Amino acid sequence: MLDEAISKRKRTRIQTVNREAILQAALSVFSAYGYRGATLDEIAEKAGMSKPNLLYYFPRKKSLYVAVLEETLAQWLAPLAAMKADGDPADELSRYIDAKIAMSRDNPAASRLFASEILQGGGAITEFLHGPLKAIVDEKSRIIADWIAAGRLRPVDPRHLIFMIWATTQHYADFDVQVRAVLASDDEGRFKHASETIRRVVLEGLLPR
């Protein structure tokens, strides 16, 4: 972590911009063609730079692929990390659900790429899954367990609650074509309605009666 922070400080502004452009281009190409079908040539072209320039930042396709996945996971975990122990459980869970739906709306390619990697065993991000991801889920599960012990929520397995929120919110990215087909609409209001429905089901099931 310290080495990574030092590395980030040493980057120039143009290096930061270029790295972000590469990651965005790689996300688009990997999500469209998968790891095997994607090429560094296509990613470099989409990023608007030469392949040698891309290789300066990411010398191997695998390192770029892992960076895209880890960047995606870091962004997804940020709203969960923001869950406050001293906050109101209903407000904290509502904010988390809204944030996850917004991510499915704004960056569906990232969700689909991650789902594809997990379906293939998650080998490229094993360390991240067993490290940072598990750590944040364990930490927030303890907060939820404390809310339950204090009578602020009805009893539920905290980890499975988090899994359920992931499943319901990411559905709107991973199965977007199916959702639009069933709703017979491309109306962006589907995300607002989805968030409202998920919040209502979760909170009515959890809040003390």
Domain of residue 129, CATH code? 1.10.357.10
CA triplet 171, 128, 79: central angle to 5 degrees?
50
pLDDT tens for each residue of 102-117: 999 999 999 999 999 9
Answer yes or no: do 90 and 147 share one domain. yes
Answer yes or no: do 148 and 201 share one domain. yes
- Domain ranges, residue 49: 9-59
Answer yes or no: do 96 and 152 share one domain. yes
Last residue of a domain, one of 38, 59, 80: 59
**Counted domains in the chain:** 2
Answer yes or no: do 83 and 170 share one domain. yes
pLDDT tens for each residue of 175-197: 999 999 999 888 889 999 999 99
Residue 152: CA count within 13 A, CB half-sphere: 15
Residue type, 92: E
Residue 2 covered by a domain: no
Answer yes or no: do 118 and 43 share one domain. no
CA dist 42 and 61 (Å) reads 12
170: which residues sit within 8 A by CB, 6+ positions away?
Answer: 100, 104, 111, 115
Answer yes or no: do 23 and 52 share one domain. yes
Instruction: Dig out the tokens for 125 from the structure.
Output: 């991000």
pLDDT tens for each residue of 122-178: 999 999 999 999 999 999 999 999 999 999 999 999 999 999 999 999 999 999 999
Answer yes or no: do 46 and 76 share one domain. no
Q: What is the domain-level CATH number for residue 48?
A: 1.10.10.60
- Give the residue from 92, 102, 109 showing the smallest Cα distance to 192: 102
Residue 64 covered by a domain: no
pTM above 0.95, yes or no: no
204: which residues sit within 8 A by CB, 6+ positions away?
Answer: none
Answer yes or no: do 93 and 25 share one domain. no
Answer yes or no: do 88 and 179 share one domain. yes
Which alpha helices (H) appear in the chain, and where do they start and end? 2-10, 13-37, 40-47, 51-57, 61-81, 89-106, 108-119, 126-128, 134-149, 158-174, 176-183, 189-206
